[in-house]
Amino acid sequence: MSVEDTWHLAVSAPIRRMEAVGELRRRVCVLTGTAYGAGAEVPVPLNDVVQGGDRLTWTQAVSRPMRLDLAFDVTVDGRTLRGACGAGRLPAPKVTGERRSTSERRA
């Protein structure tokens, strides 16, 4: 199953719910990605993006609401994904996502 697409992501953190748009693309046989959201004006790179069957993992550094290195581990089922996002010793918030419709994708 291909995960290459534009995704609307939501992270249900204890502080608040955060939303972002993630874009996953394959470049020279390597899965890469970027994320936009939470007030970021420039895309944040997704690092170490790995797909194994329906499981997808990646890491990402964020600076809002605080500086954190996040590790995502989700399961993709067609147009949706579900999983968690670890941040060291902090509790792992739930992550959900949906593929975006063509009219919602970034130009």
CATH number at residue 63: 2.40.128.120
Q: 10 lies in a domain?
A: yes
- The CA distance from 71 to 38, in Å, is 17
Q: 107 lies in a domain?
A: no
Give the CA-trace dihedral at 58, 63, 65, 66, to 10 degrees: 100
Q: 30 lies in a domain?
A: yes
How many structural domains are present in the chain?
A: 1
- pLDDT confidence tier of residue 17, bands split at 50, 70 and 90: confident
Q: Which residue has the tokens 């060291």?
A: 88
More confident of the two residues 37 and 47:
47
pLDDT at 15 over 70: yes
pLDDT at 67: 82
Residues in the chain: 107
More confident of the two residues 61 and 102:
61
The values of phi and psi at residue 87, to 5°, are -140, 70
Q: 106 lies in a domain?
A: no
For residues 46-62, give the mean pLDDT: 94
pLDDT at 78: 93
* Domain span holding position 34: 5-101
- The CA distance from 101 to 52, in Å, is 25
- The CA distance from 65 to 72, in Å, is 17
Per-residue pLDDT reduced to its tens digit, 29-40: 899 999 988 666
Answer whether 85's CB lies under 8 Å from 77's CB.
no
